[in-house]
């Protein structure tokens, strides 16, 4: 059973249909799933992102970037759960592979509808 959802920002949450992803994130949080944003950005995010996530991890702030295994482990640690109970979503195949190498289940984001379909299987109601 998965306890955490970790998502990339650019390319995933910037998708034109991302409102549906944000709604799914909020729904999972309501069910007790821990959520994190993991971005290779320098930092920041503000209240707009904080309201959807339990943790925000920016490579510029933690000193390690995707696809290095350590950054995924930092995200899981900030969620307070083991990496092998987390699902990671990114539009970059190499970043998904990095997450899988760190013990997470990876979802390669190609469209909002495909990602939502995968998440519905991984986090059944």
- What value does the mean pLDDT take over residues 57-81? 97
Q: What is the pLDDT of residues 72-92, one digit of tens each?
A: 999 999 999 999 999 999 999
- What value does the mean pLDDT take over residues 40-65? 89
Is the CATH number 3.40.50.1000 carried by domain 1-79+95-102?
Answer: yes
Mean pLDDT for all residues in the chain: 95
Q: What is the spatial order of strands in the sheet that 4-7 belongs to?
A: 55-58, 34-39, 4-7, 86-90, 105-108
H-assigned helices in 1-125? 18-30, 46-50, 59-62, 69-79, 93-101, 112-122
The pLDDT assigned to 9 comes to 94
- What value does the mean pLDDT take over residues 4-18? 95
Q: What global pTM score does this model have? A: 0.96
Query: Which residues are CB-neighbours of 32 under 8 A, at least 6 positions away?
Result: 3
CA dihedral 117, 87, 57, 60 (to 10 degrees): -90
């Amino acid at each position: 059973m998965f306890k955490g959802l970790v998502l990339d920002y650019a390319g995933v949450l910037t998708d034109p249909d991302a409102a549906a992803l944000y709604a799914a994130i909020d729904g999972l949080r309501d069910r007790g799933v821990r959520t994190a944003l993991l971005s290779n950005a320098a930092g920041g995010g503000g209240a707009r992102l904080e309201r959807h996530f339990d943790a925000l991890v920016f490579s510029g702030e933690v000193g390690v970037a995707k696809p290095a295994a350590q950054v995924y482990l930092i995200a899981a640690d900030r969620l307070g759960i083991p990496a092998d109970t987390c699902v990671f979503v990114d539009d970059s195949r190499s970043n998904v592979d990095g997450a899988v190498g760190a013990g997470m289940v990876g979802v390669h984001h190609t469209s909002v509808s495909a990602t939502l379909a995968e998440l519905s299987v991984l986090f059944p109601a």
